[in-house]
Structure 1
Amino acid sequence: MASCEHDHKHDEKPEHAHSHEAQGDHACNDSHDHGHSHAHGPAPVAVPFLSAQMPNGSAEAVFLIQKMDCPTEEKLIRDRFKSMAGIVGMQFNLIQRELTVQHHLDSVATIISSLKALDLDPALKSDTLTGTAGLSAELGDGVFKIARSKWLLMAVSGVAAIGSEVVAWTDGNETSWLVIGLALLAILTGGLDTLKKGWIALKNLSLNMNFLMSLAVIGAAIIGQWPEAAVVIFLFALAEMIEALSLDRARNAIKGLMAMAPDRATVQAASGEWIEVVTAQVVMAALVRVRPGERVPLDGIVMDGQTTINQAPITGESMPVVKQPGDQVFAGTINERGAFDYRVTALQANSTLSRIIKSVQQAQGQRAPTQRFVDQFAQYYIPAVVLMAVLVAVLPPLVLGTGFYPWLYKALVLLVIACPCALVISTPVTVVSGLAAAAKHGLLIKGGVYLEMGRKITALALDKTGTLTIGKPAVTDIQLVQPEDPIEVARLMGYRRLAASLSHRSDHPVSTAVGVHWRANRGQSAEPTNNDAAGLIDVSDFAALTGLGVKGRINGQLFYLGNHRMVHDMAICSAALEAQLEALEVQGKTTIVLCSATAPLLILAVADTVRDTSVEAIAQLRAMGITALILTGDNPHTAQAIGAKVGITDARGNLLPEDKLNAINELVRRHGYVGMVGDGINDAPALAKANIGFAMGAAGTDTALETADVALMDDDLRKIPDFIRLSKKTHNVLMQNIVLALGIKAIFLVLALSGEATLWMAVFADMGASLLVVFNGLRLLRALR
């Protein structure tokens, strides 16, 4: 019933296209949800949506590229594909090493061959042309593994590089055959991959860090600095391996989510016996048994037994939740006490946990504003430094008549310092750490742009029912509009039955309250019909009146059930009725009216309960200087009463969806950056218009996960202040990393030009800067503990 605020909140899934500026980067960087199956178990599971057509009739292929760690590889791929016929678009997720390609090709063979030409060895994850998904077991989890042989080669390279330095220092000859031999051994065992990548970059005219490093090493060898060439290539290769291992900590946050759901489930077979099967093979409506201490394998509804479940992995709730028949359970949560049986309501690929993982992975692909700035800066930074190095090597000898060798060496040091990996890698590591920390805390953030920009919120609009309140109102009053009628009781029972019959067709909380009240208090005069044991009457021509109520025909006569505003719109609100409604509404109750086409018949009043967490959340927001207000379709008296309870003075009632949208427009003009909190379809326009939309009731609800930018998995409004604090921390860490990366570069640039920095010192500086910003970004993993 749409009688008050939200009409059929969970009946449909609207498009959620933001008009605000924060969405601008999506075309290049969103990792849209096409083909990311997270099914565990030995056999890959095909996902139904893989066969869907992409925009513009294109197909889509998703690749896992184990060698894609840095924007260096991203730029190489973009340069290679930008002129390739049939390529529509690309999205990169460097943290998960995923490349998504939209194309008009007959097969993905051309894409695969092009990636192999870049020495990237792709593995196909999904392809909409064939409607398939999956990877071999060793690639399915995206684990980064450094082979033992690689470590052995690095050990040989290190010993050879140090040996060349020792020999050269001992005999004072840096070009002896022994020194050159040891240096070549170090270069071939530790730096062959770097030289190969540098050659590929040169062929593709891409000035990346591998090209710069290769140029520096070859240049050092040409001018006779063989020991330094060996040490530089060894340190660079070692730095890349350490950096890759450090980045894997961020990946582990997502892999930890994936590992929460067990691989096997205990299912009741057709014979009645309980058998253990692979979770990916469990079918819908199967009966699953969970013992104490086990994790719940799939989403479902409890059928038998009572227990307490730790839902922290999904909702972030600190206290276990009691579950009994009829309650919902989520995959990945932990059964703490009793055994219970439940009916599966979602397959593994569509469970709440899987949808959380998909959302977090998609969010990793969306660049935050700072990351977009850094990426654009890097495009001009590398060519500028290369040009500077050329000028340093050429101009002083020509203009000043000085020796060529010292300036060439300074130019090579400058090239090593120019490697921008520390600057570029710092932002995605920081963002994904923040996203993972939020997910573990029960906050699902849809992208880095929202994570970083949440700090700018100055005003927050909140829906009432289901947001500030629990959303489960109960009927408190029933009044006839004309109580002087002599057959009052009979009419009252008859009208209650009409109201219950109309409300039965809606899933709004107020409708549920009317239905519960009817079933609990059905009198003798409400005789069951042949087709409804609850005593309800069939309703035909049922229709929802958005923001007002519902209507339908009962026994051929048209009846309406709606809010105070509906009665006014029907022009049947008398002074007496107005007085009755206001007397109830000033008590903070929501009123709904049963009407015929020409007259009001029955008044029902319901009251909701404010969430225990709402008062504290509003107090925290007020302490942060954020203006909070209520936007509700309920009557103004109820809005004001709830506002007074939670500490909000600006409470606006009788708002249709377009009224809420207009209110958000007004807030954006007045406050600049605005958030909106809601829990359903009726709030979707306002959620979409706000700079950041927050969804309540996200656990187990597709709509909330799809429409909002941030989802509160356990309906706790206190997580919004947590989100804003996390956003501020994320922005601070991003700024720290930029200052660290550029500051270290600037210091060594001065040292290089003054002749105080050597090649191996430059590599140490680059390696140190990279590790420093990575570990600084990883601090956010503990930001919400």
Structure 2
Amino acid sequence: MDCCGPDKPCAGGVTPSAQSSVAGTDALVPDGAARLVLLIRKMDCPTEEKLIRDRFQNMDGILGLQFNLMQRELTVQHNLMSVDGIVQGLEKLGLDPLVKSDSLDMARADAADHHDLSGDYRISPLTWMLMGISGTTAIASELVAWTTGVENSWPVIALALIAILTGGLDTLKKGWIALRHLSLNMNFLMSLAVIGAVAIGQWPEAAVVIFLFAAAEMIEALSLDRARNAIKGLMAMTPDTATVLIDGVWQSVAAARVALDTVVRVKPGERVPLDGVIVSGQSTINQAPITGESMPVDKQTGDSVFAGTINERGGFDYRVTALQSDSTLSRIVRSVQQVQGERAPTQRFVDQFARYYIPVVVILAILVAVLPPLLMSQPFQPWLYKALVLLVIACPCALVISTPVTVVSGLAAAARSGMLIKGGIYLEQGRRLKAIAIDKTGTITSGKPAVTDVIAVHGDEDQLLQRATSLARRSDHPVSVAVAAHWAKGADALFDVADFEALTGRGVKGRIAGESYYLGNHRLIHELGICDAELEARLDALEKDGKTVVVFATAQKPLLIVAVADTVRAGSAAAIADLQSLGINITILTGDNAHTAAAIGGNVGVVDVHGNLLPEDKLTAVDELKTRYCYVGMVGDGINDAPALAKADIGFAMGAAGTDTALETADVALMDDELGKLAAFVRLSKRTHAILAQNIVLALGIKAIFLVLALAGEATLWMAVFADMGASLIVVFNGLRLLRSSRAN
């Protein structure tokens, strides 16, 4: 069964049609290419993207162009000796570029740091004043024309000209630039419509049209900034200063200057400025900015703390483990910002549709203006007016901007809830999941088992446990950690271990006092050929009680049985039931024995349970699930389960806060150990897809209605502008609903 397709991610989450994750890469770029990143502060719409692409894509030395409209970023891969030509070319297009980074000239990039590179849209007092004059005079021209019944009198023309010059000069300038570069964009079409209205004597309408367009563009840019800055709000939670110990004195210094291993003090009520590990004191900390947890978490010596979290109760000192720029919060923000340029399946469809939409409507407008007067002897002016209305309707901005603003809002909403989604494709495709495979240890269970039984088979129990612990302390497997923790006589009483070796999926082995020993699971004992009927019965009895059993043995005989039990996480059963209510099949995969796996599965309501699995067995299990359910997720720790995570359509890493590997390898990183976030992710994906569909229907529906009204002669120019820009605002605000829902959650 082949589940891949143009809009369905294959193994690893990569779609056949999306070899590059960032929009605009037309070819594979050589590894040695120079890289220029520019902030285009006047790039809000595909209008500007098309203008830039038409200007630069065929320029010698340009190897690739990547556009991120939501961040107003343009990335250029090139092999030029200087980027001055690129910057000057953008300035001639009137796009006000600023260099964010330049691999050719790091000094130039550093100098750019002194500029405001936020990309936020700001309206100057002068602009507000000019827009006020434009709106007032445009309305006044309409009132004078309506009261006098003359639309081309000198008072009407004078008021209309003032409105056009104060509110529409920037649009007309952009339209002229587009004309010079033969680019069919909204500014050109709007300028043409205004000039056409003036040519046929519709001065008041030309004034109102240009004012409405300029005002709507301002509102749209301000609205889009809400989506752009949604994730940036997280960084505002990190304090600018930290109280550090310098020469025995506690001093306040800039957090950005604090070095690794510095000791920082946090008082009750303060925010943690940097990531670190507590060295003295204890407290409860609100970790919502990182994990989305609603309840504070108890912290004590040895526990990790994260920048941006809130110290609620006691004071503590901690050692810094990451610079401010490398904190978990900073990495979350960077990750979301980087994936904002990616195209989700719906977005790729919309972009492709818009490419053909404008030329088709423009050709239709030309035919409407020309054919009726030529073929049916109709008067020219009414049909020209209808054609001008069609030109306004030709703008696809509402359609194209609807998808990125929705996807970015969804990514930001997820980050606020403790879910780091590594691209719009995973956010949109999460709704398609039909099965999720979950690694048991550390996800369904706490991952902190404790010893419940110690049974000597041959020899003295205490001496055998001493040797078993000597082996166990060399391993970081949860069962080995439990065995080592059970030893109460201190590390000094343990033996040195030589030739230590981890046996993947089985246990460990090593030499103690010149003799080889093994500490492993049921599978290992069978492979050694020392599991007789009596031992088999003992092991089965313990495993049926839901315990994980390891045996300390030589190559000739078993010596000691140690049973450990892992506790099921509170809420695991409810979280799995929630997923099942969404129609998702749950499968448990574990390296534990089949009896223990079945017992855990029974506790949480899962029937499909697979035990005794090696990492490659989990990979095979995920592959089999894909043949049955097509879209499959895998939940693991991001390290040991890496092959299975990569094979799944969407890989989830649990408890990823502060874990570099999990943040890098997973498609979706759940920042805490809350399994319930899986269902929240699926629901967010469903809401995102629903809003994407609503926006497409709204944008196309409004245009279809006005297309019919224009051809019937019932739509005016200002109505068309109002409808077009109104549609843009509607879809933007509709997409922003995802941000409001994240606050409610």
The offset of 1:505, in angstroms, is 3.0
Tell whether 2:493 aligns with 1:516.
no
Tell whether 2:482 aligns with 1:505.
no
CA 1:442 to 1:225, structure 2 compared with 1: closer, same or farther past 3 Å?
A: same
Identify the match of residue 211 of structure 2 among 225, 231, 234: 234
Tell whether 2:224 aligns with 1:247.
yes
CA distance in 2, matches of 1:632, 1:31: 42
Tell whether 2:160 aligns with 1:213.
no
Report matched runs for 1:282-301 at 5 Å.
282-301=258-277
Structure-2 residue corresponding to 1:709: 667
The offset of 1:177, in angstroms, is 4.0
Aligned residues with identical type, % of pairs: 69
Structure 1 residues 377-412: Cα deviation after superposition (integer angstroms, max 9, x where no partner) = 111111110010011011111110111111111000
Identify the match of residue 79 of structure 2 among 95, 104, 117: 104
Does the aligned pair in 2 maintain the 1:31–1:100 contact within 8 Å?
no
CA distance in 1, matches of 2:576, 2:312: 33
CA distance in 1, matches of 2:201, 2:49: 34
Structure-1 residue corresponding to 2:138: 161
CA 1:55 to 1:607, structure 2 compared with 1: closer, same or farther past 3 Å?
A: farther
Structure-2 residue corresponding to 1:646: 604
CA 1:278 to 1:18, structure 2 compared with 1: closer, same or farther past 3 Å?
A: farther
Structure-2 residue corresponding to 1:13: none
| Higher deviation after alignment, 554-563 or 90-99 | 554-563
Letter in 2 for 1:697: G
The offset of 1:586, in angstroms, is 1.4
Tell whether 2:99 aligns with 1:141.
no
Aligned with 1:217: secondary structure? helix
| Higher deviation after alignment, 156-165 or 243-252 | 156-165
Structure-1 residue corresponding to 2:318: 342
Report matched runs for 1:613-632 at 5 Å.
613-632=571-590
The offset of 1:751, in angstroms, is 0.8
The offset of 1:458, in angstroms, is 1.1
Structure-1 residue corresponding to 2:6: none
Aligned with 1:338: secondary structure? coil
The offset of 1:55, in angstroms, is 6.2
Structure-2 residue corresponding to 1:25: 18
Letter in 2 for 1:780: L
Aligned with 1:25: secondary structure? coil
CA distance in 2, matches of 1:281, 1:76: 42
Aligned with 1:449: secondary structure? helix
CA 1:62 to 1:541, structure 2 compared with 1: closer, same or farther past 3 Å?
A: farther
Identify the match of residue 57 of structure 1 among 32, 43, 57: 32
Tell whether 2:730 aligns with 1:753.
no
The offset of 1:713, in angstroms, is 1.3
Does the aligned pair in 2 maintain the 1:457–1:673 contact within 8 Å?
yes
Report matched runs for 1:729-740 at 5 Å.
729-740=687-698
Aligned with 1:625: secondary structure? coil
Structure 1 residues 62-90: Cα deviation after superposition (integer angstroms, max 9, x where no partner) = 22221111222222223333223333333
Aligned with 1:142: secondary structure? coil
Identify the match of residue 721 of structure 1 among 679, 704, 718: 679
Identify the match of residue 396 of structure 1 among 359, 364, 372: 372
| Higher deviation after alignment, 419-428 or 493-502 | 493-502
Q: RMSD across aligned C-alpha pairs, in angstroms?
A: 2.3
Tell whether 2:301 aligns with 1:325.
yes
Aligned with 1:630: secondary structure? strand
CA distance in 2, matches of 1:613, 1:55: 49
CA 1:577 to 1:91, structure 2 compared with 1: closer, same or farther past 3 Å?
A: farther
Structure 1 residues 722-769: Cα deviation after superposition (integer angstroms, max 9, x where no partner) = 111111111111111111111111111111111111101111111211
Letter in 2 for 1:156: I
| Higher deviation after alignment, 107-116 or 410-419 | 107-116
CA distance in 1, matches of 2:604, 2:58: 58
The offset of 1:639, in angstroms, is 0.6
CA distance in 1, matches of 2:85, 2:462: 73
Structure 1 residues 440-483: Cα deviation after superposition (integer angstroms, max 9, x where no partner) = 11111111111111111111110000010010111222233x43
Structure 1 residues 521-574: Cα deviation after superposition (integer angstroms, max 9, x where no partner) = 45xxxxxxxxxx544444444433332233344445444333222333344433
CA 1:127 to 1:471, structure 2 compared with 1: closer, same or farther past 3 Å?
A: farther
Question: How many correspondences in the alignment?
Answer: 730
Structure-1 residue corresponding to 2:163: 186
CA distance in 2, matches of 1:31, 1:320: 43
Report matched runs for 1:650-665 at 5 Å.
650-665=608-623
Letter in 2 for 1:90: L
CA distance in 2, matches of 1:542, 1:109: 60
Structure-2 residue corresponding to 1:691: 649
Aligned with 1:681: secondary structure? coil
Given the two structures, how large is their TM-score scaled by the length of structure 1? 0.89
Letter in 2 for 1:638: T
Report matched runs for 1:117-132 at 5 Å.
117-129=92-104
Aligned with 1:332: secondary structure? coil
CA distance in 1, matches of 2:638, 2:492: 28
Identify the match of residue 73 of structure 1 among 43, 48, 58: 48
CA distance in 1, matches of 2:370, 2:271: 67
Aligned with 2:31: secondary structure? helix
CA distance in 2, matches of 1:107, 1:539: 61
CA distance in 1, matches of 2:30, 2:542: 52
Aligned with 1:693: secondary structure? strand
| Higher deviation after alignment, 363-372 or 668-677 | 363-372
CA 1:252 to 1:201, structure 2 compared with 1: closer, same or farther past 3 Å?
A: same
Letter in 2 for 1:596: T
Letter in 1 for 2:305: V
Does the aligned pair in 1 maintain the 2:286–2:295 contact within 8 Å?
yes
Letter in 2 for 1:617: A
CA distance in 2, matches of 1:573, 1:103: 65
Does the aligned pair in 1 maintain the 2:12–2:650 contact within 8 Å?
no
CA 1:200 to 1:185, structure 2 compared with 1: closer, same or farther past 3 Å?
A: same
Structure-2 residue corresponding to 1:46: none
Structure-2 residue corresponding to 1:421: 397
| Higher deviation after alignment, 554-563 or 114-123 | 554-563
Tell whether 2:504 aligns with 1:546.
yes
Structure-1 residue corresponding to 2:248: 272
Report matched runs for 1:164-175 at 5 Å.
164-175=141-152
Does the aligned pair in 2 maintain the 1:28–1:89 contact within 8 Å?
no
CA distance in 2, matches of 1:537, 1:64: 62
CA distance in 2, matches of 1:502, 1:107: 61
Letter in 2 for 1:149: L
Structure-2 residue corresponding to 1:151: 128
Does the aligned pair in 2 maintain the 1:22–1:691 contact within 8 Å?
no
Structure-2 residue corresponding to 1:466: 442
| Higher deviation after alignment, 287-296 or 80-89 | 80-89
The offset of 1:151, in angstroms, is 1.1
Aligned with 1:602: secondary structure? strand
Structure-2 residue corresponding to 1:439: 415
Aligned with 1:126: secondary structure? strand
| Higher deviation after alignment, 753-762 or 551-560 | 551-560
The offset of 1:208, in angstroms, is 1.6
Does the aligned pair in 2 maintain the 1:17–1:688 contact within 8 Å?
no
Structure-2 residue corresponding to 1:564: 522
The offset of 1:296, in angstroms, is 0.5
CA distance in 2, matches of 1:294, 1:716: 26
Structure-2 residue corresponding to 1:383: 359
CA distance in 1, matches of 2:495, 2:106: 46
CA distance in 2, matches of 1:621, 1:534: 48
Structure 1 residues 34-85: Cα deviation after superposition (integer angstroms, max 9, x where no partner) = xxxxxxxxxxxxxxxxxxxx96223333222211112222222233332233
Structure-2 residue corresponding to 1:307: 283
Aligned with 2:285: secondary structure? strand
Given the two structures, how large is their TM-score scaled by the length of structure 2? 0.93
CA distance in 1, matches of 2:514, 2:433: 52
Tell whether 2:229 aligns with 1:256.
no
Does the aligned pair in 2 maintain the 1:81–1:87 contact within 8 Å?
yes
CA distance in 1, matches of 2:337, 2:24: 7
Identify the match of residue 83 of structure 1 among 40, 48, 58: 58
Structure-2 residue corresponding to 1:590: 548
